A and B are shown apart, each in its own frame.
Chain A
Amino acid sequence: MMHRIILVREWDAQLAASGCCGRLGGENTELGDTETFAANRSEMEAMGEVYRALRAELFDEDVEITVVDPRNMVWLVPALLKDARRRGLNLREIWSQLRRGISYTSIVVDGKVLFNGRIPPVEDAVAAVKKELEISEPDPAVV
Chain B
Amino acid sequence: MPAVVVAILVFVAFFLGYRFYSKYLAEKVYALDKSKPTPAHEFEDGVDYVPTNKHVLFGHHFTSVAGAAPIVGPAIAVFWGWVPALLWVVLGTIFAAGVHDFGALVISVRNRAQNIGTLASSVINARARTLFLLIIFFLLTLVNAVFAVVIANLFIAFPGSVIPIFLEIPLAIFIGQYIYRRRTSALIPSLIGVALLYLSILLGQAFPIDLSPIASAIGLDARMLWIILLFAYTFVASRIPVWVLLQPRDYINSHQLFIALGVIFLGVLIGFDRIVAPAIASVPEGSPHWFPFLFITIACGAISGFHSLVSSGTTSKQLDNEEDARYVGYFGSVGEGSLALGSILAATAGLGAYTVWQERYADFNTASSGAVGNFVEGVGHFANNLGVPLGIATIFAAVVVVSFAATTMDTGVRLQRYIIQEIGEIVRFRLLARNLTLAAALAVVIPLGLALYPDLAFGRLWRLFGTTNQLTAGLALAVVAVWVFTRNRNPLAQIVPLVFLLAMTTWALFIQLGDFFRAGDYLLVAIDGVIFVLTLWLIIEAIGAFQRARSERAASGTDGGTTGA
Residues of chain A at the chain B interface (Cβ within 8 Å): 7, 10-11, 13-33, 36-37, 39-40, 44-45, 47-52, 55, 64, 66-75, 77, 98-100, 102-105, 116-118
Complex contact B314–A23 (CB within 8 A): yes
From B414, which residue of chain A is reached at the shortest CB distance?
A25
Not counting A17-B254, A23-B310, a sample of 7 additional A-B residue pairs whose C-beta atoms are within 8 angstroms of each other reads A14-B250, A17-B63, A17-B403, A19-B69, A24-B310, A24-B411, A25-B411
**Known contacts A37-B242, A55-B44, A66-B53: A20-B187 contact under CB 8 Å:** no
- Judged by a CB distance under 8 angstroms, whether B46 is at the interface is yes
Complex contact A21–B415 (CB within 8 A): yes
Residues of chain A within 8 A of B411, CB atoms compared? 15, 18, 21-22, 24-25
**Known contacts A17-B66, A52-B46: A70-B186 contact under CB 8 Å:** yes
**Known contacts A10-B247, A102-B187: A15-B117 contact under CB 8 Å:** no
- Judged by a CB distance under 8 angstroms, whether B253 is at the interface is yes
Complex contact A28–B46 (CB within 8 A): no
Q: How far is the CB of B453 from chain A (nearest CB, A)?
A: 22
Residues of chain B within 8 A of A64, CB atoms compared? 53
From A14, which residue of chain B is reached at the shortest CB distance?
B60
Complex contact B187–A31 (CB within 8 A): no
**Cα–Cα, bound, A74→B410 (Å):** 24
**Known contacts A51-B50, A99-B188, A103-B183: A20-B63 contact under CB 8 Å:** no
Complex contact B186–A104 (CB within 8 A): yes
State which residues 391-422 of B face A: CB under 8 Å. 403-405, 407-408, 410-412, 414-415, 418-419, 422
From A13, which residue of chain B is reached at the shortest CB distance?
B314
Complex contact A17–B46 (CB within 8 A): no
Q: Interface centre among A18, A69, A70, A117, by most B CB within 10 Å?
A: A18
**Cα–Cα, bound, A48→B48 (Å):** 9
From B412, which residue of chain A is reached at the shortest CB distance?
A21
**Known contacts A18-B408, A73-B254: A98-B309 contact under CB 8 Å:** no
Complex contact A19–B48 (CB within 8 A): no
Contact of A74 among B179, B258, B313 (CB under 8 A): B258
Q: How far is the CB of B100 from chain A (nearest CB, A)?
A: 12
Residues of chain A within 8 A of B427, CB atoms compared? none
Q: How far is the CB of B134 from chain A (nearest CB, A)?
A: 13
Complex contact A15–B143 (CB within 8 A): no
- Judged by a CB distance under 8 angstroms, whether B246 is at the interface is yes
* 0/1 interface trace, chain B 244-267, chain A, CB 8 Å (1 if under): 001100110111111000000000
From B115, which residue of chain A is reached at the shortest CB distance?
A29
Residues of chain B within 8 A of A36, CB atoms compared? 242, 414
State which residues 151-206 of B face A: CB under 8 Å. 179-180, 182-188, 190
Complex contact B46–A72 (CB within 8 A): no
Contact of A17 among B113, B314, B407 (CB under 8 A): B407
- Judged by a CB distance under 8 angstroms, whether B459 is at the interface is no
**Cα–Cα, bound, A10→B248 (Å):** 11
Complex contact A23–B61 (CB within 8 A): yes
**Known contacts A68-B56, A71-B250, A72-B56: A51-B46 contact under CB 8 Å:** yes
**Cα–Cα, bound, A44→B313 (Å):** 17
Complex contact B47–A44 (CB within 8 A): yes
Residues of chain A within 8 A of B369, CB atoms compared? none
Complex contact A104–B64 (CB within 8 A): no
From A46, which residue of chain B is reached at the shortest CB distance?
B47
Residues of chain A within 8 A of B56, CB atoms compared? 66-68, 72, 75
Complex contact A30–B64 (CB within 8 A): no
Contact of A30 among B48, B118, B253 (CB under 8 A): B118
**Cα–Cα, bound, A100→B136 (Å):** 41
Complex contact B63–A72 (CB within 8 A): yes
Complex contact A22–B310 (CB within 8 A): yes
- Judged by a CB distance under 8 angstroms, whether B307 is at the interface is yes
**Cα–Cα, bound, A20→B139 (Å):** 12
Residues of chain A within 8 A of B415, CB atoms compared? 21, 24-25, 31-32
From B179, which residue of chain A is reached at the shortest CB distance?
A104
**Cα–Cα, bound, A117→B179 (Å):** 9
Residues of chain A within 8 A of B256, CB atoms compared? 17
**Cα–Cα, bound, A26→B113 (Å):** 14
**Cα–Cα, bound, A72→B118 (Å):** 29
Complex contact A27–B64 (CB within 8 A): no
Complex contact B185–A14 (CB within 8 A): no
Complex contact A20–B60 (CB within 8 A): no
Contact of B183 among A13, A15, A23, A104 (CB under 8 A): A104
**Cα–Cα, bound, A26→B190 (Å):** 24
Complex contact A20–B50 (CB within 8 A): no
- Judged by a CB distance under 8 angstroms, whether B317 is at the interface is yes
Complex contact B188–A20 (CB within 8 A): no
Contact of B314 among A18, A26, A66 (CB under 8 A): A26
Q: How far is the CB of B436 from chain A (nearest CB, A)?
A: 10
Complex contact A21–B59 (CB within 8 A): no
Complex contact A30–B117 (CB within 8 A): yes
Residues of chain A within 8 A of B46, CB atoms compared? 7, 47-52, 55, 67
Residues of chain A within 8 A of B67, CB atoms compared? 17-22
Residues of chain A within 8 A of B190, CB atoms compared? 73
